[in-house]
Structure 1
Amino acid sequence: MPATPLAAVTRYWSVAVNKWYFVPAISNKSAPTRLELNAGTDLTGEVADSSGWTTTGDTIEAPDGNSVFIAQVAGPVKADDSSLTIYADPTGNDARTLLPRGTTGFVVRLGGGDTAGRKMDVFPIRVKTVGKQYGGTATEPAKLEISFAITSTPAEDVTIP
């Protein structure tokens, strides 16, 4: 008897659906309330690009004197370097006012949009830097690259209330 196939999924282009929120306070990152999410700021319309926002795990070698094979065990988990590239305003009235260096809170990525029952990832953050990219060419708008430290384990695949 063959293995059971994985159920087919609805494929989508995340750029047109993905939402990015900055939420200053969440009491339980594994179960944010709708009130907490609504108290945040929707960054989506100003996000030009994102990088990181995932976790990776290291492995630890576990040799065994009875074998020439060196087994591995799961080791520490960490977050990749993460940033959001956001459009800049010439007056400075942009994400710099909301997310200056040192700001703490949560970046919430709603990968399937802000729809109850879908999944989101909640990243506890501190803003590391706000880099200015004033465009190297005539075809590139000015942007800010906001780099974040992920300060504790992200809550992944949390159901959106």
Structure 2
Amino acid sequence: MSATPITPSARYYRQGRTRVLWTPTIADILSPTRSEINAATDLSGEIAASSGWEVTGNTEDTPDLGSVFVGNIPSTTTSDASSLTFYSDETSVDVRTLLQRGVVGNIIWMDEGDVEGYLMDIFPVRVTSAPKQRDIAAVAQIMVNFAISRQPAENVAIPA
């Protein structure tokens, strides 16, 4: 008898589907309301690239004198600094008006789209910088860097 296989995933392409939202306030990131989500700003159409946005677990070694093997146990979780890269506007009306250094709020990732019952992640953040990317041979862009200030809410159901 063999093990039961995991349910096959219906694979998808992120572009055109994933939604990334910005909102300055959410009363409870574990249970946001539809009105809080509707009041957010959808950043998706201006994002050229992203980096980070992961919660990772750390471990601590647990050596003992009874063995030469060193086991470990789960310890803290962390999220490294993360960024979103946006297109610049030739008249300066772009992400710089919304996400300036020091601004505090939340980035919401709806990986499979804004669909009731699907899952989203919410990252409480502070903007650390918004440097212009000055590659003379590329489309003008601004990289907004974020510090993740509190534990993100992962796999939260998108409300109706």
> TM-score if structure 2 supplies the norm length?
0.96
Distance 2:17 2:82 in 1: 20
1:14 to 2:5 alignment: no
Deviation at 1:80, TM superposition (A): 2.1
Name the structure 2 match of 1:148.
146
Contiguous gaps of at least 5 residues in structure 1: none
Q: Secondary structure at the match of 2:35?
A: helix
| Deviation by residue 1:54-95 (Cα, 9 ceiling, x = unmatched) | 011221100111111101011211002200000111222111
Deviates more, 1:85-94 or 1:43-52: 85-94
Name the structure 2 match of 1:94.
94
Q: Secondary structure at the match of 1:106?
A: strand
**Partner amino acid, structure 1, of 2:91:** T
Distance 1:154 1:78 in 2: 9
1:13-52 to 2 correspondences below 5 Å = 13-52=13-52
**Partner amino acid, structure 1, of 2:119:** K
1:160 to 2:154 alignment: no
Moved over 4 A (4+): none
Distance 1:136 1:62 in 2: 52
Name the structure 2 match of 1:127.
127
Distance 1:37 1:141 in 2: 30
When the two chains are superposed, the root-mean-square deviation of aligned CA atoms in Å is: 1.0
